[in-house]
Structure 1
Amino acid sequence: MRIEDLEAQLDDFDFERRKTAFLKLSEAYRRGEISFPPPRPVVNLHFHTFFSFNACGYSPLHIVWRAKKEGLSVAGSVDFDVLDALEEFRFGGFTLGLPVVSGLETRIYLPEFRNEELSSPNEPGIAYYMGNGFVRLPEEGTRAFETLRKLKRIAQERNTKIIARVNAYLRETAIDYEADVLPLTPSHNPTERHIVVAYARRAESVFPNPRDRARFWAEKLGVREEEIWALEKDRALFYDFIRSRLMKFGGVGYVQPDAGDFPRIQEVNEMILSAGAIPSFSWLDGTRSGEADPERLIAFCEANGVETFFLIPDRNWNIPDDEERKIKVQKLHEFVETARKHHFPVFVGTELNRYGQKFVDDFDSPYLAPLADFFLESAWVLWGHAVLEMSSGRGYTSDWAKRTFKSRAAKNQFFARVGKRTEASWEAVRKLGARSTESLLQEFGG
């Protein structure tokens, strides 16, 4: 089978089929039929997989494969409300010798910010929140397990509300959640983006004539037919436009969230910590009222168990408007420097859950270059955490770490050194886990 065909098979919804393809590709690499570049000082810790929504349809194994091909130093999976990618992503990374980590993204309600916007625009008090560096799943029957189930249930209940509203509006192209949406994801964890794809496909089926379809969308989306013709040339723009007009704030399908729809930070932190991961607060762009004062936000986060921050750099500099770019670049640097001053690692990535997003950030960009070393150092902290947590339960948020390190700065330095010096192999992880505290501190500091 050709390399291209094997790579395409990496996205098969059947795990055994994609695993078989991955192992064949790995063998081709070991035989020298495929070559990889040496690792570059670039990372992406925020890859959505097809277990939530990936714009390229990539499975966890496909992301690992491409990350190795592109020379990433560390790769991280992140999915909405599920940890379905964790074991597959780790298997792929260790097979190819690529440091990998896995995370989860959800939303929480913060009553302290009930009148201020954070990372969820137009929804005061609601923030995106993450756990990074998971090494295991919550045990069934535990409160953490129930919290994880609750996160997925909340998201799916919101999906059905959105579909009911949009169906009533679109009528001719109404979709069925179970028949049209659930099959688009291997683990029945669809997002708004899956719903958009389902509506677009139904419109193509109901209106096979492009002119009829353009007329339909123009009427329903409130624009001229010429604009639909232009948008349809770029699937990314068109899908985003449908989503913004129908499902986001102000759209017919928008569901105004209620505070009771989301868990509190303490509940989610308990789940994250029980699975050996690190609580991470998502920062948007600094222009929202709740993000206006970095010192205040970081102090709040520190007091509420947040250990790290996560952001998407492209939002702050890859912007066509010069004035907007200037403001957001300034906000980005201000926030990152404040986090660095307080010794909080900052993780970065591109998401890859929207058409047109990059596979990896442009760390050489003049807007990111001054921050690139810190982003890379933070990634090594996360990998260092993962290998020590999975090997011996001595990760970044462990009781061992609390006893061992007198300061956040010392802890960061230690875990970054562990990350830089530990390869992605089970043998290396086992050897690391067998070492004494004295031996680890002697080599890695602290």
Structure 2
Amino acid sequence: MSEIINDPATAPDARVAALRELVDAGHEVPEFTLESNNHIHTIYSFSPYTPSMACLKGREAGLQVVGSVDHDSIGAAAEMRDAGTILGMGVVTGFEIRVTLHTPQEVAAGTAIFADRKLNNPDSEGVVYMTVQGIPVTARATAEEFLRPIRERRLERTRRMAAAANEILAGLGAPTFDFERDVIGISQYATGGTVTERHLLFAMSEALISGFGRGQSLLDGLAGMGVTVPEKLATVLGDEQNRFLPYDLLGLLKAEYLGEFYEQPRHWDEGGELPDARTVVEFALSIGAIPCYAYLGDVSASPTGDKKAEKFEDAYLDELVVTLREIGFPAITFMPPRNTPEQLERVSRLASENGLIEVSGVDINQPRQVFACPELSEPRFAHLNTSTWAMVAHEMLSNADVTLGLLHPHNPLAELPLNERIERYGKAGPELVAGAEPADVAQSLRIGGFSS
């Protein structure tokens, strides 16, 4: 049954039905923890998990809430919500997208102060990752219309990178891959998914493993390509029985080799796939969603294995957060397991000082990662659980009435400070997941319910 649940070739409805059958058969899961994860990728970007399996994995880890944020895609949303409902979990749906922090006009005018700085994107200066979360069901079609042309342009850039990669590999006498079969063919592009650099690197990894073999012969082949393999990773890549080998090799190639053929993404007005941050923030707010800047912070050791030790936005974070507020970002999202206590304290303080919602999540896109986030069980992160449940309530209530969105100007609690709204919505979230009618919860909110 789990094979059906996690089969990308099976229709979403059939995967959800298989999940329901599994639950009805008494599948054992642990007690809920206080943890949640709002940053899960599925097969609609790059991931070994269908939305149904992502929910199941989350539930087996004790999570109360799961959230999907596929790159440039809202394809997982319906299945994620159906699967979460079956498992009794809260669900937050959305997407992740790369944007330029500044417009080309600001760059030309010399006012783009971050245009030549690395922010949260290891591959580009002036380009940032952000999420759009809590998208109401009624806005999914609009979100898909917005994202489709972005995916199309991204596909063509990825196609050009694949051609450049194959040219390099062929010149080295290394195995090549077929873009249509090995890159598009392992994606969900035909059903609303995105083709990403990770799809390309996974195809390259499979080709290299097939051509060089496993174990020491793979390490020798990589050395012949000029790829530096860190000592710790050499043990993993040299293990002939490593069942996650393509994913581990993908991480190495992303960190150490992608630059050999990477084509920088460009702004939409310059023929590229990137909108600017203000455009996406305004679009997200217009459909009743919550746009978030994704804080990365300086990296000393990457938990996902695909980032070098490198400096990002910490040197100018104070200035950056002010700029985010001016652009219109209402929230900042970060990953507690990835950052030091000092980084987390700082980003939390800056969010509070600038009136930004704090959102948490742990990036899931490969099979070695765990869905749990034990940090969220610590008292110092209690507010992150509250904001997660507030987003759950936001999305569920927005489905019933768009004015009930947490940030809607006509929200019945709009006169309250944002942190008070979050507190009340955070208390309403579990009630909604437990089966309370949205109309009843909305009425309770209007008359002062869920207050401290």
| Smaller-chain TM-score bracket | 0.7 to 0.9
CA distance in 1, matches of 2:409, 2:177: 49
Q: Which residue identity does 2:450 align to in structure 1?
A: F
Q: How does 1:145-164 map to 2 (within 5 A)?
A: 145-164=144-163
Q: Which residue identity does 2:183 align to in structure 1?
A: V
Tell me if 1:21 matches 2:21. no
CA distance in 2, matches of 1:196, 1:79: 17
Tell me if 1:273 matches 2:285. yes
Q: CA deviation at 1:115?
A: 2.6
Listed one character per residue, the Cα deviations across residues 6-60 of structure 1 (whole Å, up to 9, x for unaligned) are 12321112124322311211211xxxx3343332111111111111112xx1111
**Residues 116 and 203 (structure 1 numbering): CA distance in 2 closer, same or farther, change over 3 Å?**
closer
Q: How does 1:245-324 map to 2 (within 5 A)?
A: 245-247=256-258, 251-259=259-267, 260=270, 261=272, 262-285=274-297, 288=311, 290-317=313-340
**Residues 225 and 408 (structure 1 numbering): CA distance in 2 closer, same or farther, change over 3 Å?**
closer
Match of 2:304 in 1: none
The answer to whether the 8 Å contact 2:229/2:252 transfers is no
The answer to whether the 8 Å contact 1:43/1:73 transfers is yes
Further displaced range: 144-153 or 40-49:
144-153
Match of 2:397 in 1: 388
Match of 1:114 in 2: 115
Q: Which residue identity does 1:178 align to in structure 2?
A: E
Tell me if 1:334 matches 2:337. no
**Residues 290 and 228 (structure 1 numbering): CA distance in 2 closer, same or farther, change over 3 Å?**
closer
**Residues 292 and 206 (structure 1 numbering): CA distance in 2 closer, same or farther, change over 3 Å?**
closer
The answer to whether the 8 Å contact 1:401/1:411 transfers is no
Match of 1:47 in 2: 40
Match of 1:11 in 2: 6
Which of 104, 127, 138 is the equivalent residue of 2:95?
Answer: 104
Which of 231, 245, 263 is the equivalent residue of 2:237?
Answer: 231
The answer to whether the 8 Å contact 1:43/1:376 transfers is yes
Which of 27, 32, 41 is the equivalent residue of 1:34?
Answer: 27
**Residues 224 and 303 (structure 1 numbering): CA distance in 2 closer, same or farther, change over 3 Å?**
closer
The answer to whether the 8 Å contact 2:337/2:375 transfers is no
SS at match of 1:443: coil
Match of 1:323 in 2: none
**Residues 415 and 342 (structure 1 numbering): CA distance in 2 closer, same or farther, change over 3 Å?**
farther
CA distance in 2, matches of 1:409, 1:258: 37
Tell me if 1:353 matches 2:365. yes
The answer to whether the 8 Å contact 2:41/2:364 transfers is yes
CA distance in 2, matches of 1:223, 1:302: 40
TM-score by length of structure 1 reads: 0.83
The answer to whether the 8 Å contact 1:286/1:332 transfers is no
Listed one character per residue, the Cα deviations across residues 254-273 of structure 1 (whole Å, up to 9, x for unaligned) are 22333443211222123323
CA distance in 1, matches of 2:95, 2:339: 23
Q: CA deviation at 1:150?
A: 2.8
CA distance in 2, matches of 1:402, 1:151: 35
Which of 74, 84, 95 is the equivalent residue of 2:65?
Answer: 74
Q: Which residue identity does 1:378 align to in structure 2?
A: S
Which of 189, 199, 203 is the equivalent residue of 2:204?
Answer: 199
Match of 1:326 in 2: none
**Residues 45 and 290 (structure 1 numbering): CA distance in 2 closer, same or farther, change over 3 Å?**
same
Aligned-pair identity (%) = 24
Which of 423, 433, 446 is the equivalent residue of 1:413?
Answer: 423
Q: CA deviation at 1:330?
A: 1.3
Which of 251, 272, 275 is the equivalent residue of 1:240?
Answer: 251
Further displaced range: 274-283 or 405-414:
405-414
Tell me if 1:218 matches 2:223. yes
Q: Which residue identity does 1:127 align to in structure 2?
A: V
The answer to whether the 8 Å contact 2:216/2:238 transfers is no
Q: How does 1:116-195 map to 2 (within 5 A)?
A: 116-121=117-122, 123-136=124-137, 138=139, 145-171=144-170, 172-188=174-190, 189-195=194-200
TM-score by length of structure 2 reads: 0.82
Further displaced range: 350-359 or 70-79:
350-359
CA distance in 1, matches of 2:203, 2:322: 42
- Moved >6 Å (runs of 4+): 224-227
**Residues 442 and 84 (structure 1 numbering): CA distance in 2 closer, same or farther, change over 3 Å?**
same
**Residues 442 and 222 (structure 1 numbering): CA distance in 2 closer, same or farther, change over 3 Å?**
closer
Q: CA deviation at 1:83?
A: 0.2
Match of 1:379 in 2: 388
**Residues 181 and 421 (structure 1 numbering): CA distance in 2 closer, same or farther, change over 3 Å?**
same
Match of 2:105 in 1: none
Q: CA deviation at 1:214?
A: 4.2
Q: Which residue identity does 2:125 align to in structure 1?
A: P
Aligned length: 412
Structure 2 residue ranges without an equivalent (≥5): 103-111, 300-310
Structure 1 residue ranges without an equivalent (≥5): 1-5, 318-328
**Residues 210 and 277 (structure 1 numbering): CA distance in 2 closer, same or farther, change over 3 Å?**
same
Which of 438, 446, 449 is the equivalent residue of 1:440?
Answer: 446
The answer to whether the 8 Å contact 2:296/2:313 transfers is no
Further displaced range: 128-137 or 80-89:
128-137
**Residues 24 and 150 (structure 1 numbering): CA distance in 2 closer, same or farther, change over 3 Å?**
same
Further displaced range: 68-77 or 214-223:
214-223
